[in-house]
Structure 1
Amino acid sequence: MSKVEQGVAQGGFRQMMAWLHTWGALWACWVLFVIFLTGTLGVFDEPITRWMKPEMPQAREAIASDAMDDGFDRPLMVRMGQAFLEKQAPYGEFWAIGLPSDEDRAIRVFWEGEDEVFHSERLDVETGEVLAKTLERETEGGHHFVHMHYEFHAGEAGIWLVGIFTIAMLVALVSGIVIHKRIFKDFFTFRPGKGQRSWLDAHNAMSVLSLPFQLMIAYTGLATFYMIYMPAGIEAHYSSSEAYFADLLTQPEHREQTGERAAMTALDQVLIKTEAQLQRPVSFVNVSHPGDVTATSMAFGRFIEKPGEYRLLGSGSGRASFDAVTGEQTDIQMPGELRGGETQSVQSVMANLHFAGFGGHAVRWLYFVCGMAGAAMMATGALLFMIKRRQRALNEFGERTAAVYRVIEILNIGTIAGLSLASIGFLWANRLIPLGIENRPEWEIAAFFALWILTYVHASLRPARKAWIEQLIATAALCLLLPLLNWIVVGDQFVSYLLRGDGERAGVELTTLLFGLLSLYSARHVWLKGKAPVKPRRKPARAGTAEVEVA
């Protein structure tokens, strides 16, 4: 029996929880750090997207009324969009028409014809003709971080992976609560310059500070995707997920395409009927299976955020469903109307809690701070593990122990410092990749992953301390020089943003400057620790001692 096994055997339940927390959390902490950091950045995905698209106008103040006159002849816009789509793809999978707004003063049309290829164009609001292609900065924007957060750009497989590690996080949180007898006292204790003790204090403080947030965010994340994680009940009673939601939300059930041709109804009448009932402008109209006798259409009301009105439940913008051949209305859901009973209401609250869909900027900043505290908790836990193992070798893996610890060290560097470097590198790629090239958003994402992979390679080739310093300095340099790069490429930076009241773009650059300074401070701290005299190594615990580890 190894020393660790002897300690577990003698220490009882709390010692077993300590072992579970230490090793279980270790193997999950790298993925959880990625989930937390990208999710935290994704809280401000829209401001990041706006910064990455300099052509977009700056954000306006929240709409204070639901006035129907927005300066556009919306029925005419829909007629233009329908005429264009009937020429391009009279039959196929779907049409969609996005109405113009102050943010994009063009008619946006999307379609998938019989070739099963997705297409999109922007039409002139005066003539209905296709607008000439401009060298806009095509980008995934801040949505890249959102996709990384919940599915790693891997679709449903990624959602499952995130779900598995989210469950591991809940196990780590509960086991951490069990083993910390003085959890709230430790929150007010920080002893700097004490090596392992300082890292443990930091880990405890970050854990307790963000504990309610972490429990909430993990549980609500799982609840949001309940249909994917727990599909058996749905599959046992319904033919498809569409049929399940049609029944739960009392909506018209999805109709399969038949191949029997039929002319489409006038979609401008769909818009007029919907606006008269919702008492707000329509922002989007779509058609499923255009040109088929089973074609259906939906019109969606414009989302209106009224100052001071934030709701966890029932904040939908409303929508109406129609038979796209006869024009007969088949369903209407008013703004704020709740459907699906108590179960769906709970799920709606869970989703709004997880995505900060309430409370405006104040709640988003609270989520940002708590999310960064959660990421710091993951990072300090992983670092504390290595610091403890340097001070006392338990030889858990026999002759391979040193190699295992080296791999853990590389993973720490590449995940904590490397992901930070790749994230700011993603913003640099947005400014450096040429405009107009095909699949430009994919090139930006590829640059993110390439840079991230290189940080692991770099960490494996350099001594650990030097790898930490070099990657932290590189991150600091990219953060601090980002405004200069932006000024050179597009002629803007945070000062000009502030002068014209563009708080979102200015906030992006000011936040990167703050993280640049933090990275520089961290690099200096690691460098100074390397110059400090090495303290005598503490003697390892005797075999059979039931010592509780809290890393």
Structure 2
Amino acid sequence: MSTATPNGAAQGGLRQSMSWLHTWGGLWACWILFVIFLTGTLGVFDDAITRWMKPEMPQAGEKQVIEHLDRPALVRSAQAYLEQVSPVGHFWGVALPNEENPTLRVFWEDEKEVFHRGQLDIESGQPITSKNERETEGGHHFVHMHFEFHAGTAGIWLVGFFTMAMLVGLVSGVITHKRIFKDFFTFRPAKGQRSWLDAHNAVSVLTLPFQLMIAYTGLATFYALYMPLGIIGHYADSDTYFSELLSTPPHREQTHIAAPVVALDQLLLRSEEQIGRPASFVAVEHPGDSSASVRVFGRFIEKEGEYTLRGEGNGLVHFDGITGEQWDVQMPAERRGGQTQDVQTVMRNLHFAAFGGSALRWLYFVCGLAGAAMMATGAILFMVKRRQRSLNEFGAQTPRIYRLIEVLNIGSITGLGVACIAFFWGNRLIPVGIENRAEWELAAFFAVWALTYGHAALRPAGRAWIEQLTACAALCLALPLLNWATVGEHFVLYLQRGDLERGWLEVTALAFGLLSAWCAWKLHRRQQAPATRPARNRTAAQVL
């Protein structure tokens, strides 16, 4: 992250202007972008994280046999339960058992738009009230943090704004660093500011194509939300636009006229016959209202020797929820929307790594970490340069602003790391079976993260970096012990069962723990070394 004064931005040429834009635009965006990148990187393996956080789920190699299950009977049980708990509402959902989750799951949104979920016993159809069921957001927590900060539409807009800022930062960075490719092959360790700039340049250039791709495709995924004027100018709303583009029945508004939902088990049988595969999910919109509609989704089937992309669809049949009239059927792998939708589908699949298997996901994981490192090194470099030579940008308030930036650096970088690993600890320590357990896990994550900012504000910068890195290292390295002590599982057991997903999570936690411990040790060692300049001018960033 280069430096330039505001005056220099006005007086210099294009490169000087881009340097100013890259420095200050990058600084104010880097903290949010670091959160987006780190949580998105963890979210690449959201399913594996969820499996680890739900030890009650079957182990790999212990797949449940589900073909013998009477799916229509299960749907009848689910419909009877939903009609009892929410006869009128906005949504019903029935997730049929699969090989990894043998329970019958139900979801509903009541008239007050409050979302609920539950599990039913597949034999009796009665709610499962066992205290052994571990409610958790699992890896989906990191996915939601990545694209909307658990804040819904407002969060999506926030992420979109900073993603645009990232694209501006990437382009201005390329213009600013005229020797960017030469600098990529240059690294001078233990040189303070020069080392941080070399590290920033290296991770930036190494993953530049990935950063551009991931930012652009992320924006393209939500194009209808970010660029609505074209749709509004030609259609009544986005629902009408998508129904015409995809040749599907349009969304129907509630009439507030009571009407019972048709027997869902019959629609299930008709759907499975139409699409030629078992169903996985049944969704009812506006149950109890004459505008109700039903969608039956097919199950994803990966055929041996045949490459199948999950994003191409698994089959969908659409019905009138009151009369049972079939409105539409979309066969598995059927593509709709023409070239426009094909482009958007490619963008979405690129962003979500919906192809390529585990190898591609590990590549995304490594590149995502490099992107997070790019944000972190840029933010730290800013403080290294200002501590060595203050440019006094804010007059008498400059020291306070610098201190604020220093606190935000610590809390956003090491603090987020501590909060992420604390989320895993919360999964094992929060009692199983308590009400709203998933929300308690999220509360633990945000509480720990908030505490790291408070800690950074109260402690000298150098000590705060060391203490938070040490805390992160301790939590990461002790996670396998916690897992063994609380649920009796460990890495060797995972290997014996062939459950590599859970095993690799613990290996990754140990790797992050060792890295954090090494960084803390380096900082401590440098701070104990004889000072070459007055101690008050030396920060953790300078002594690393």
TM interval, short-chain normalised: over 0.9
The letter for the 2-side match of 1:490 is V
Distance 1:524 1:459 in 2: 18
The letter for the 1-side match of 2:463 is K
Q: Secondary structure of the equivalent of 1:256?
A: coil
Distance 1:23 1:116 in 2: 41
Partner residue of 1:49? 50
Q: 1:112 to 1:170 in 2, by over 3 A?
A: closer
The letter for the 2-side match of 1:480 is L
Distance 1:514 1:492 in 2: 19
Partner residue of 2:38? 37
Partner residue of 2:249? 252
Residues 205-255 of structure 1: CA distance to partner in whole angstroms, max 9, x if unpaired?
A: 100111001000111111111111112222233333222211111111122
Partner residue of 2:143? 146
Contact 1:257 1:289 in 2 (8 A): yes
- 1:228-267 alignment runs, 5 A limit: 228-267=225-264
Q: 1:240 to 1:320 in 2, by over 3 A?
A: same
Partner residue of 2:312? 315
Tell me whether 381-390 or 249-258 shows the greater mean CA deviation.
249-258
The letter for the 2-side match of 1:473 is T
Shift of residue 479 of structure 1? 0.3
The letter for the 2-side match of 1:57 is P
- 1:112-261 alignment runs, 5 A limit: 112-113=109-110, 117-261=114-258
- 1:73-92 alignment runs, 5 A limit: 73-92=70-89
Contact 2:312 2:333 in 1 (8 A): yes
Distance 1:476 1:239 in 2: 54
Shift of residue 142 of structure 1? 1.1
Contact 2:130 2:433 in 1 (8 A): no
TM-score (norm 1): 0.91
1:419 lines up with 2:424 in the alignment:
no
Shift of residue 93 of structure 1? 2.9
- 1:365-384 alignment runs, 5 A limit: 365-384=362-381
Shift of residue 341 of structure 1? 1.9
Partner residue of 1:540? none
Q: Secondary structure of the equivalent of 2:435?
A: coil
Residues 31-85 of structure 1: CA distance to partner in whole angstroms, max 9, x if unpaired?
A: 111111011011111111111111111245999xxx9x81212222223323333
Contact 1:310 1:359 in 2 (8 A): no
Shift of residue 490 of structure 1? 0.7
The letter for the 1-side match of 2:166 is M
Shift of residue 262 of structure 1? 3.8
Distance 1:341 1:313 in 2: 18
Residues 116-156 of structure 1: CA distance to partner in whole angstroms, max 9, x if unpaired?
A: 55444322323333334333221111111111111111111
Distance 1:378 1:499 in 2: 39
The letter for the 2-side match of 1:337 is E
Q: 1:8 to 1:316 in 2, by over 3 A?
A: same
Aligned-residue CA RMSD (Å): 2.3
Partner residue of 1:398? 395
**Whose relative contact order is higher, 1 or 2, with alpha carbons under 8 Å and at least 6 apart?**
1
The letter for the 2-side match of 1:45 is D
Residues 287-323 of structure 1: CA distance to partner in whole angstroms, max 9, x if unpaired?
A: 2233433322111000123466556686211100112
Distance 2:113 2:214 in 1: 38
1:327 lines up with 2:328 in the alignment:
no
Residues 419-447 of structure 1: CA distance to partner in whole angstroms, max 9, x if unpaired?
A: 10111011111111112222111111111
Distance 1:12 1:91 in 2: 64
Q: 1:287 aligns with which of 284, 295, 319?
A: 284
Tell me whether 139-148 or 324-333 shows the greater mean CA deviation.
324-333
Shift of residue 499 of structure 1? 1.8
Contact 1:469 1:523 in 2 (8 A): yes
Equivalent pairs: percent with the same residue? 66
Tell me whether 342-351 or 9-18 shows the greater mean CA deviation.
9-18
Partner residue of 1:472? 469
The letter for the 2-side match of 1:186 is D
Partner residue of 2:361? 364
Partner residue of 2:21? 20
Shift of residue 8 of structure 1? 3.9
Shift of residue 489 of structure 1? 0.7
Distance 2:492 2:62 in 1: 20
Distance 2:262 2:451 in 1: 55
Distance 2:489 2:254 in 1: 50
Contact 2:131 2:432 in 1 (8 A): no
Residue ranges of structure 1 left out of the alignment (5+ in a row):
538-551
Q: 1:107 aligns with which of 87, 104, 107?
A: 104
Shift of residue 364 of structure 1? 0.7
Tell me whether 324-333 or 258-267 shows the greater mean CA deviation.
258-267
Partner residue of 1:549? none
Q: 1:536 to 1:110 in 2, by over 3 A?
A: closer
Q: 1:90 to 1:528 in 2, by over 3 A?
A: closer
Distance 1:263 1:150 in 2: 37
Residues 182-202 of structure 1: CA distance to partner in whole angstroms, max 9, x if unpaired?
A: 222221211112211111111
Partner residue of 1:548? none
Residues 440-499 of structure 1: CA distance to partner in whole angstroms, max 9, x if unpaired?
A: 111111111111111111111111111111110010000000111111111112222122
Q: Secondary structure of the equivalent of 1:92?
A: coil
